[in-house]
Each structure stands twice: as structure tokens, then as C-alpha cells.
Amino acid sequence: MNGLEVLFLHALPLNGAMWDAQRSAISAPSHAPTLYHFGRRLEEWAEGALAVTKAGRLVLIGCSVGGSCGLEIAALAPERIAGVMLIGTKADCRPDPALMAEAIQTIRSGDRELAWERYWRPLFAPATGREVLDHARAMMMQQSADDLVRGVEAFHSRPSRAALLPQLDCPVVVITGEHDRVPGIGTSRLQAQAASRGTLQVVKGCGHYVPLEQPSFLNALLSDFLATCR
């Protein structure tokens, strides 16, 4: 891979282990840091994630807020970025302080089960199997309340990076599940069109968490994408 490394960036409320199926399917060196301990702002996450590798050429693979972190990394070190894959990611940000405060209160109350059912379980496709849901829920429960709060804060205070998409001098693939409502197919299509070398992939029968819901399909896309980033 000519020194190419892959940096996987996880979604809220999960951790770096959400990428296990993808990391085991590729030959390129990869990293999947858990981001919460880097700070309460996405800029801190980007700096922390970028510091885990000294590779001169990076492919960024991010899901949801992980994709937003990827865009922040691309803004910090554009000369190192060989490709960007955005999964269920909205580059723009419209702050919703009321929703952020509600989510933080729900988490701090100690009822992470309620937070799961209210904010994250509905993002999976309706037909998602129980095994996948149980795996995702168990991964969420590995995070402390403080970690989840930091994640919510980073997500809701993230910079808008829609203007960065046309500036990316590398392949960009935008992936959305057919049933994903955030950001949804329409927004994902506009983001792919905004990128100078952008493409869109819609995953049938899938919701927000493509790496967990459709890992084999994503692995095939990832293999093809890495080949274009060499």
C-alpha cells in the first residue's frame, strides 16, 4: 500500500471496536482509536486521532460523528489525506442546544438504557437483527457516562465543514443507509456532488450504522476504495 495507513473513526455511542470487521478485512495498517478521552470538542478529537499515526498518507473512514472528525482531520492536515469515506455523516451542523441538554441530562441521570432507546436504537434499520442490536448496545454500555457526555458535546458543538468538501483533493465516497434519517439520502447525495471527486453509495436495507448492519457490503466497498487511494 506504499505506506498508506487507514484511520477509522467511530460513531456515537460506540467505540473503536465497531470497526473490527473492517480492520480484519484489509491488509493496510490501520488504527481505530476510541475518541472520547481526547476531549469535549471535535477539534480535540481530530488532533488526538491524528497523533496516533505518523503515516504520510492516510485514508479516513468515519461513521456519523466519526466522519465529522475525519473532515476536521482533513482540515488540519490536507497534505496527508489520500481518501475520505463518510458514512452517515452530515458535514454541516445546525446547533440544537435543547436536544444536547436533554441528552446530557438523560445520560447523567444514570439511565443509559433510556438514552439507547431514545437516541441510538431508532437509527438502525427496522429489520436489523437482534444479535447486531445487542452487540451495539453492549458496546455502548462499555462507555462511562462521562464519555457519552463528551461524545454528545463534541457532536453538537462540531464545526460546519460543508465548505471543505469541494476543497478535498482526493477521492471522497459518501455512504448512507437506505433507511438512515440522519443525514439521509438527499443530504448525502448533495455532499457527494459537492466533493470534486465524490461518489455516493446507498446501502439497501440499512440504517445509520453501516459497519455493524452490513459489514460484508461495506468491506467490499472499502477494498475498492482503498485501491483508488493508492
Instruction: Give the model's pLDDT for residue 1.
Output: 41
Domain extents for the chain? 4-95+150-228
- pLDDT, one tens digit per residue, over 3-42 is 899 999 999 999 999 999 999 999 999 999 999 999 999 9
Number of H helices, E strands in the chain: 10, 6
Beta bridge partner(s), residue 7: 31, 60
- pLDDT, one tens digit per residue, over 186-216 is 999 999 999 999 999 999 999 999 999 999 9
Instruction: Give the model's pLDDT for residue 197.
Output: 97
Instruction: Give the model's pLDDT for residue 78.
Output: 97
pLDDT above 90 (res 110) = no
3-state secondary structure of 174: strand
Please give the model's pTM, rounded to 2 decimal places: 0.96
* DSSP conformation letters of 46-78: HHHHHTT---SEEEEEEETHHHHHHHHHHHH-G
Share of the chain above pLDDT 70, in %: 99
pLDDT above 60 (res 61) = yes
What integer is the mean pLDDT of 107-121? 94
User: Would you say domain 4-95+150-228 falls under CATH 3.20.20.70?
Assistant: no
pLDDT above 70 (res 64) = yes
Instruction: Give the model's pLDDT for residue 111.
Output: 87
Instruction: Give the model's pLDDT for residue 3.
Output: 82
Q: How many CB atoms lie within 10 A of CB 84?
A: 29
